[in-house]
Structure 1
């Protein structure tokens, strides 16, 4: 299916929320509220991309950039649309947008046991650089580790 990825604004937040709710398992407590997302988009250097299929939002990515570094904070595609390359398309567009913003490094944190996400990031050239023990607290009160990953946009030998 054809898709479009574009920079979003606060008008898109409510249309993103069904994707947010579907994409993140409530057990892990990773989904953000509409209030949290709206507030973030008001901050300087914060931005969101939305992926549209047939003019309907079917994915999004949230990032922030400060000077020459960026952080990918969220990326999501509904469960029924996974495996079609939409997550990778969003990630690639985040990288393009970071280059446009003169970012040299993109950081992210991913739940260490989220194998599909880790594989996606590694396939785009991200590499692990650290681990945060007990970073995520799920609704089951279990603490889960996060892996910190980085993509160096200047040194292509890391890709």
Structure 2
């Protein structure tokens, strides 16, 4: 059975497939200073406890993706990225809502994430979705200028 969630602007969200690894790798490199290798994304897509979701159109052009890691009764949002052309159009929110819906079918009762303290757009989204700050990691994210950024650890109960 195919899982499918509606997203804005004619997009939809569905589980990633192995053929998505190249597009996800490129998209991640656009949004983060140190992009991950294609092999890492391929391994996540293939993993049973690491669901990956893509927001795409009917021709499977990917506008964004989100990756989870499941462990016992907890889940972690490992990374999320939206193509710069699709930002501020509800794609990130659609991805998050899809993964919340899917997490209802797992034992996970709490979702954690890390976000750069200076990522105002992401902090607004996570606040809107009910995440609260539970900690921080100073110097966690490398930056091109050599001054690492602090990561805020946030969590949300899943119900």
TM over 0.5: yes
Q: Say yes or no: does 1:50 pair with 2:58.
A: no
Q: How does 1:137-148 map to 2 (within 5 A)?
A: 137-148=142-153
How many pairs were matched up? Answer: 150
Q: Say yes or no: does 1:65 pair with 2:70.
A: yes
Q: Say yes or no: does 1:36 pair with 2:40.
A: yes
Deviation at 1:86, TM superposition (A): 0.6
Deviation at 1:108, TM superposition (A): 0.3
Q: Name the CA distance, whole Å, in 2 between partners of 1:150 and 1:76.
A: 19
1:123 aligned residue (110, 128, 135) = 128
- Let me know the Cα RMSD of the aligned residues: 1.5
Output the TM-score relative to the length of structure 2.
0.87
- Structure 1 residue runs of 5 or longer lacking an equivalent are 155-159
Q: Name the CA distance, whole Å, in 2 between partners of 1:115 and 1:108.
A: 15
Q: How does 1:5-44 map to 2 (within 5 A)?
A: 5-22=13-30, 24-26=31-33, 29=34, 31-44=35-48
Deviation at 1:15, TM superposition (A): 2.4
1:101 match: secondary structure: coil
Q: Name the CA distance, whole Å, in 2 between partners of 1:95 and 1:21.
A: 25
| Displaced runs of 4 or more, over 4 A | none
Name the structure with the higher helix share. 1
1:100 match: secondary structure: coil
Tell me which residue corresponds to 1:90: 95
Output the TM-score relative to the length of structure 1.
0.87
Deviation at 1:143, TM superposition (A): 1.4
- Structure 2 residue runs of 5 or longer lacking an equivalent are 1-8
2:56 match: secondary structure: strand
Q: Name the CA distance, whole Å, in 2 between partners of 1:105 and 1:63.
A: 12
